[in-house]
Amino acid sequence: MTQVEAPSWTPMSAEEREAFERDGYIVVPSVLNESEIEAGRSAILGYYEKAKAEGKLSATGALHQLSPIAHVPELAFLIDHPKAFKYIWSLLGWNLHIYHSHIDVHPKLHEQQKEFWHWHQDGGRQNREIETDPRPMLSVKLAYWFSDVSETGRGNFTVLPGSHKTNWLPGPPNRSTPWPQPEGAVQITANAGDLVVFDRRIWHARSDNYSDITRVGAFFGYTPRWIAMRDENADLPNRPEWANLTEVQKQLLGGFGNGDGDHQWGHYPETTPLYGALKERGLLDSSIPALIP
């Protein structure tokens, strides 16, 4: 298992919080060191080759694998990496888990693609069934980069800054109709080892990769434990590698609690690992509602 450098736990800064609340995302440089980049990239590309041999790639040779820890357990170090995870508990508190995650590999496209509409907000039915305007944040996602996307056109994560407070965008009558991207869209550039932290509500898409650099990324979405997980991790506690995980990691992967809804509702903070870890470090900031027991 990859060993992570252990910097002291610190919350996100006031400046970072201000930028996140304004734009719906922030880019954090150099979150992963060189050995962590190599470990993550090797693990993802190793799984990619396995999926390729099994005929599980898309028609363009791309991989989009949900529940990555169930398939690539070597990536578990990413889910609570101190330099990244601080943004999650600073924004969402201690009663949370990973509900939706994926790894992505996109090699070079050799044919020009039609410009279809792929813009969306995360959360699925949350965006149809919740009636408020704007809808609540509910989840935050971490996007780790294991390839150089420092120039546009490399499969960049593309966003409409500030759109997390917008419930609807004008788009095509259906997804099969070619349609231009919304005005003001920005392709985020980043180096390998950089992190993007984003509000699930921000309107986003992926640009096509026409470069010679294979796009490699890992995405982890966090939400309160009272929202059901999309990830399929039920078998993880039965595997040998489960014993190597910390109690906080087990919580994040859905393998912690006494099996009843009250625990997931947050009625037992003292027996919730992340609450204990934050309390031990004096980080239960009463000015942040989600951090109050």
pLDDT in tens, the chain (293 residues): 565 555 679 999 999 999 999 999 999 999 999 999 999 999 999 999 999 999 999 999 999 999 999 999 999 999 999 999 999 999 999 999 999 999 999 999 988 887 888 999 999 999 999 999 999 999 999 999 999 999 999 999 999 999 999 999 999 988 888 888 999 999 999 999 999 999 999 999 999 999 999 999 999 999 999 999 999 999 999 999 999 999 999 999 998 766 678 999 999 999 999 999 999 999 998 888 888 88
- Among residues 80, 92, 66, which one has the least CA distance to residue 1? 80
pTM value?
A: 0.95
d(CA 214, CA 107): 4
Residue 229, token pair as written in the block: 């997980």
Q: Is there a contact between 68 and 75 (Cβ–Cβ < 8 Å)?
A: yes
Q: Which CATH number fits domain 14-227: 2.60.120.620, 3.40.50.720, 3.30.465.10, 2.60.40.10?
A: 2.60.120.620
Q: What pLDDT score was predicted for residue 6? A: 54
Sequence ranges of the domains in the chain:
14-227
Q: What pLDDT score was predicted for residue 90? A: 96
Q: What pLDDT score was predicted for residue 259? A: 63
Q: Is there a contact between 126 and 135 (Cβ–Cβ < 8 Å)?
A: yes
Q: Is there a contact between 88 and 252 (Cβ–Cβ < 8 Å)?
A: no
Q: Is 240 exposed, middle or buried (0-12, 13-18, 19+ CB in 10 A)?
A: exposed
